[in-house]
Amino acid sequence: MTRLRRMLCLFIALGALVLATPAWAAEEPAAGSGWEAGGTFTTKFQADISKARGAPTRVSLYNDSELSFFANYGSVFSLNGDIKYERTRAPNLLSYYPDRNNVFRSEAATLRQLYVTVRPTDKVELYAGKIHPAFGSAYKLMPGLFYPFATDYEQDERLGFGASVGLPLPGTPRLSVEVFKLDTTFLSNTVFSRPALNDPTAVRLLRYTHGQFGPSNTNGLRSVTAALRGGVAGEGLAWQVSATHEATDQPGARAENGFSIGGVYDPTGEGIRIGDVGVTPFAEYAVFENFSTIRGLGRHYGQIGVSFGLDRWTLAFAGGVRVSSGSLRATDHQQSVSMTYEVLDGLQVGAGLHRVIIGGRDSMTLAPALSYETKF
């Protein structure tokens, strides 16, 4: 058994032990106050002007939107959902090597999450449905306008269940364990844009099927993620340590095992105050064996970012390295700088410059952007 697999088994066993401990069984849930509903809507229009080595300059105009919603009954019951609208024909990072000019090409809406949560006490949460297992955080927390390497390992569109327990330790950490599989039901259908199942350029197809194989694409709930998360952004260090095991039914493939650790430091809600400037640093490291269930493929990810805020201005730097070993040997890099200005509450304009090297091929992208966020 490899070191990474032993670490994964130990972490999951610890999670199962804590979740089985009845220390919080006698606690009463917080008093409810009837139904409450709301959510958040974000949208971003961005133009990527990309020049890959050996190719002419191409322009891609696209929209990324997300609608997150909830309905709570007091503190006892919640229904949560998340819908995203984004490009489906190219992996996030490979979109910096376009073969043509693209204007809103093959974007689609997908249901990413739809699950219920029950809280028998103020320390315990039990949830089930279409969930987002809590592995890593860089896919969401990396600053700037561009996709980070962490989108490789975000665990999205999974069907399963989980439990989260608040631990009586400093920083109010929570331990969660989730069991799941890739969603191959009708809930994985795309809407508005539907690439054909035999379209060689499509990555997020009309619908996931079991025959596509890959991480956690199994007939049963045989994948598991365990995470320990502590701290609160805006009150100091917010951190996570997580481990995952994603099974596969593909003949000749191997289950993927991974480990991640990372955090963001923000003691004031506006970063570390240096005069009028707020500085917020972020870092994450992740390691995998049999990445994407490819036998013998090892992956290491290192990602760092820092943002500087002054009034309505935000300057962000981000960088990452992705090292492949074993059955594939390669080292990929990315660096970016982004500047945004909040014109009105929730409305931002900005631009960024991004450099990525994948497979030894360099690509530069200049990207103006317009984004908006509102809560309801």
What is the DSSP code string of 129-144?
EEE-----SHHHH--S
| Among 287, 282, 280, CA closest to 242 | 287
| Among 54, 49, 64, 28, CA closest to 371 | 64
Is the torsion defined by CA of 332, 337, 343, 345 positive or negative? positive
d(CA 305, CA 8): 27
Provide the residue ranges of all domains of the chain, joining segments of one domain with +. Answer: 3-20+36-375
Per-residue 3-state assignment (H helix, E strand, C coil) for 163-203: EEEECCCCCCCEEEEEEEEECCCHHHCEECCCCCCCCCCCC
pLDDT in tens, the chain (376 residues): 565 555 455 444 444 433 433 333 333 334 456 999 999 999 999 999 999 999 999 999 999 999 999 999 999 999 999 999 988 777 778 889 988 898 888 788 999 999 999 999 989 999 999 999 999 999 999 999 999 999 999 999 999 999 999 999 887 899 999 999 999 999 998 887 655 555 656 666 678 889 889 999 999 999 999 999 999 888 999 999 999 999 999 999 999 999 999 999 999 999 999 999 999 999 999 999 999 999 999 999 999 999 999 999 999 999 999 999 998 999 999 999 999 999 999 999 999 999 999 999 999 999 999 999 999 9
Angle, CA 289 vertex, CA 86 and CA 110 arms, to 5°: 15
Angle, CA 24 vertex, CA 20 and CA 29 arms, to 5°: 125
Is residue 67 within 8 A of residue 83, CB to CB? The reply is: yes
Structure tokens at 32: 């409810």
Structure tokens at 122: 């103020």
d(CA 344, CA 364): 30
Is residue 266 within 8 A of residue 238, CB to CB? The reply is: yes
User: What are the distances in angstroms from CA 313 to CA 141, 250, 316, 342, 353?
Assistant: 18, 49, 10, 7, 17
Long-range contacts of 66-70, Cβ-Cβ distance < 8 Å, separation of 24 or more: 66/40, 66/41, 66/42, 67/39, 67/40, 67/41, 68/39, 68/40, 68/41, 69/37, 69/38, 69/39, 70/37, 70/38, 70/39
Please give the model's pTM, rounded to 2 decimal places: 0.88
Task: Supply the pLDDT for residue 194.
Answer: 58
3-20+36-375 in CATH: which number? Answer: 2.40.160.10
Q: How many residues does the chain have?
A: 376
